[in-house]
Amino acid sequence: MKNNMPILEARNLRVERAGVAILDVPELTIKEGEVLSLIGPNGAGKTTLLVSLCHLFKNVSGNIFFRGREVGKDLSVSEYRKRYAMVFQEPLLFNTTVFENVAAGLKFRRMGKGEIEEVVKENLEQFGIRHLKDRSARTLSGGEAQRVALARAFAVKPDVLLLDEPFSSLDPPTRESLIDDLERIIRESRTTTLFATHDRTEALRLSDRIAVMNEGKIHQLGSPEEVMNHPADEFVASFVGIETILDGTVVRESRGTLTVSVSGYEIEAIGEVHPGERVILCIRPENVTIAKNSKGMATSARNVFQGKIEKVTPLGLFQKISIDCGFPIVAYVTNDSVKSLSLEEGKIINVSFKATAIHVMKKRRA
Amino acid sequence: MELILEGIKKAFTLLFMLDREVLDITFLSLKVSGIATMISVFIGVSTGATIALNEFPGKRVVVSFVNTGMGVPPVVVGLFVTIFLWRNGPLGFLGILYTPLAIIIAQAIIATPIVMGITIAAMQQLPKKLRLQILALGASRLQMVWMLIKEARMSLLAAVMAGFGGVISEIGASIMVGGNIKGYSRVLTTATVMETSKGNFDVAIALSIILLLLAYSINLILTHIQQKERPR
C-alpha cells in the first residue's frame, strides 16, 4: 500500500425509521485494496449500511469521505457515484440483451462504441459467460444472471465494489463456482470490496477484515482470526459459530490462569481478570473432545467433565453433540467417531477441552 | 335484412373504389387522433414518471385524481373545451373552435390521463431497488429516469394503445368542438353518426368498417412489437 489514506471513510452514519435508529455507525474506514465483509443476521443493517455508503438514501445523516474528499462537498454526489459499483441480492438486470446489460454502466459514462465492445467482451470472458452475449437477460438462470450482474459492475472498473449478499439466492454448486471466480477476479484486479453476507464461511474465505453487525451497529471489526477466535461480545461469539457460551465468576487467578466457577463447576481458562469478576467463556465446538472414560484424555486438556448426551444432530460431515455436564456444552464429532464411540442420546461420556481453547470475555455491566 | 345486406355491398364498393370523401375523412381521423395521442404520450409519460418516482405530500390525491381522469366522459371534455374556445370565452381570441386543432386539443385532454395513469402504474410496478441499481452504476438522474422508462416500455406501449383507442373511437368531444364540417373537420365517428341519422346506411357501414380496421391494425402492430420483445 502506497499511502495510508483510506479509500472510503464514514463518520456518524445514522439512519432512522419511525424514530428508531436502523443504522448507527460512528466510524468506518475502508483501506485501499482490502476486502471487508459485513456479516450479521437478516435485518442487521448490512444493506442499509451499503446503500448509505453509496449515498443512495436521502435520509442518512453523517459524512462520507472518498479518498479524503467529502462527498457532497469536495466531491459531487454524481461524481462519487461514478467511482463505485454495487451488486444487489437480486440480479436486477435490465430487460434487454446480456451485452446491453454489461454495457449499461459504460453508456452512463458516455464511453465510445468501440471501447464499450472491448470492455464488455473482456468482462463477459472473465465471468465465463461470453456465449450468453446476445441472449435476452430474462432467459438466464439465477447463476447466469448474477454473473451478468457482477460483470456489469466490474465493467465500470469501480474503485470500490459493494456486494449485497449476491450469492444468497443461488444453489450451493452454483454459488461455489461463482465465489471461486469472484475471488480470483477481486484478487487479480485488487478491487477494494465491501461484501455483505449472512454466511460466515463466505466471509472467511474472501475477507481481509470482517465486521460483525447486529441491529444497525458494528459489534466488532477485525481480522477473520480475531473475530472467529476472540469475539468481542456474546452476539459476535454466537454468530461466528461458538456453540458454547457460559456465564461464570472468576474465583482464583494465578499467573494468567483463571479458575472460573460455572454453575458450581470449576473451569480453567487463560486470561487476566480479577477474582470476583463475572466473565463469559466461549468454547468452539471443534475444540471439545469426547472420550468414553477419562483415561485416554490428553494431559494438556485441563478441563475434564463427565456429562450426559442430550442430543445428537447430524450436520453432514460431522455431528453436533449437545452434552449436559451440569452446564451445557457442544462438541463437533466426525461421523466415524460417533460410530466408534457409539455416541447416542442418554449416554454418559467424558468431555475435555484445553484451557487455552477458551476465549474469556469480561461481562459488560448493563 | 335486405337493407343491411345492400348497405354492406355498397360499403365494400365504396372502399374498393377508394372513394375520395371516405379517404379524406379517414386521413383526417388518423391525423387528428395520432397527433392527440403523441401529445398525450409526451405529457402523460413525463408527468406520470415524475409522479411515480417522487414522494410528496398529497401524492395519493394526485394519483386518484389522474385515475378518475381516465374515465372522464368525452362529452364533458367537449363541453369545457367548447366553453373555453367559445367566441366570448377565455381563449375565444384564438378563433379555433370548429377546427381540427380544437379536436386535437379535446382528444389530447381525453387521452392524457389514460396514458398518465397507466404510466404511473407501470413505473410503480418496477422493483424499487432497480432505481438504486441504476444509480449505483453511475447514472445521472435523467439517465435513470430514461432507463426506467425503457424498462417499463411494454406497459407504456399498452398506454399508447389505450390512449389512441380511446380517442379514435370517441365522438362526443369531436362533434362538439369540431362541428363535423364537411371536408374540414369531419372525422370517422362524426361522419358515421351523421350518415346513420340521414339513413345512408351504406356509407355509415363503410366508415364503421374502416374504423374497426384502423383500430385493429394499429393494435396489431403494437402487439406485434410487444410480443417480439418477450423472452424467447
Domain ranges of chain B: 2-228
What tens digit of pLDDT does each residue of A81-126 get? Answer: 999 999 999 999 999 999 999 999 999 999 999 999 999 999 999 9
Query: How far, in Å, CA of B71 to CA of B118, rounded?
Result: 12
Contacts of B139 in chain A (CB under 8 A): 81, 108
ipTM (interface predicted TM) = 0.81
Is B139 in contact with A81 (Cβ distance < 8 A)?
Answer: yes
Is A152 in contact with B129 (Cβ distance < 8 A)?
Answer: no
Contacts of A86 in chain B (CB under 8 A): 132-133, 136-137
Closest CA to A260 of A159, A363, A180: A363
Residues of B with CB under 8 A from a CB of A: 127, 129-130, 132-140, 143, 147, 150-151, 153, 229, 231-232
Sign of the torsion formed by the C-alpha atoms of B37, B38, B43 and B47: positive
Identify the helix (H) or strand (E) that includes residue B132.
Answer: helix B128-135
Grid cell in block for residue A308: 450426559
DSSP character at residue B86: S
Q: Which of the four pLDDT bands, split at 50, 70 and 90, describes residue A1?
A: very low
Q: Length of chain A in residues, anyone?
A: 366
In this structure, the strands spanning A244-254 and A278-283 are antiparallel
CB of A193 closer than 8 Å to CB of A29: no
CA distance to B21, B95, B128, per residue, from B178 (Å): 17, 12, 44
Instruction: Name the residue facing B151 among A51, A94, A105 (closest C-beta).
Output: A94
Order across the sheet with A8-17: list the strands: A20-30, A8-17, A60-66, A69-70
Select the CATH number that applies to the domain covering B2-228 from these four: 1.10.3720.10, 3.40.50.1400, 1.10.10.60, 1.20.990.10.
Answer: 1.10.3720.10
Query: How far, in Å, CA of A182 to CA of A191, rounded?
Result: 11
CB of A305 closer than 8 Å to CB of A265: yes
Query: How far, in Å, CA of A128 to CA of A125, rounded?
Result: 5
Helix (H, G, I), strand (E, B) or coil at A251: strand
What tens digit of pLDDT does each residue of A39-96 get? Answer: 999 889 999 999 999 998 888 899 999 999 999 999 999 999 999 999 999 999 999 9
Identify the helix (H) or strand (E) that includes residue B48.
Answer: helix B20-53
Query: How far, in Å, CA of B186 to CA of B178, rounded?
Result: 7
What tens digit of pLDDT does each residue of B166-206 get? Answer: 999 999 999 999 999 999 999 999 999 999 999 888 888 88
Instruction: Name the residue facing A156 among B135, B138, B151 (closest C-beta).
Output: B138
For B55, phi then psi, to 5°, come to -100, 125
Burial class (CB in 10 A: 0-12, 13-18, 19+), B215: middle
Contacts of A153 in chain B (CB under 8 A): 137
Contacts of A51 in chain B (CB under 8 A): 132
What tens digit of pLDDT does each residue of A176-202 get? Answer: 999 999 999 999 999 999 999 988 888
Sign of the torsion formed by the C-alpha atoms of A54, A55, A60 and A66: positive
Residues of A with CB under 8 A from a CB of B: 51, 54, 56, 78, 81-82, 84-86, 88, 90, 92, 94-96, 104-105, 108-109, 136, 138-139, 152-153, 156, 162
Helix (H, G, I), strand (E, B) or coil at B85: helix
High-pLDDT (> 70) share of chain A, %: 96
Instruction: Name the residue facing A152 among B130, B135, B137 (closest C-beta).
Output: B137
What tens digit of pLDDT does each residue of B137-163 get? Answer: 999 999 999 999 999 998 898 899 889
Spell out the domains of chain A, with CATH numbers in brackets: 8-239 (3.40.50.300), 244-362 (2.40.50.100)
High-pLDDT (> 90) share of chain B, %: 67
Amino acid found at A356? T
Q: How many CB atoms lie within 10 A of CB A72?
A: 12
Residues 6 or more apart whose CB falls under 8 angstroms from that of B97 comprise B82, B85, B86, B87, B177, B179
Amino acid found at B208? S
- Range with the lowest mean pLDDT among A271-275, A289-293, B121-125, B211-215? A289-293
**Interface A-B: count of C-beta contacts within 8 A:** 59
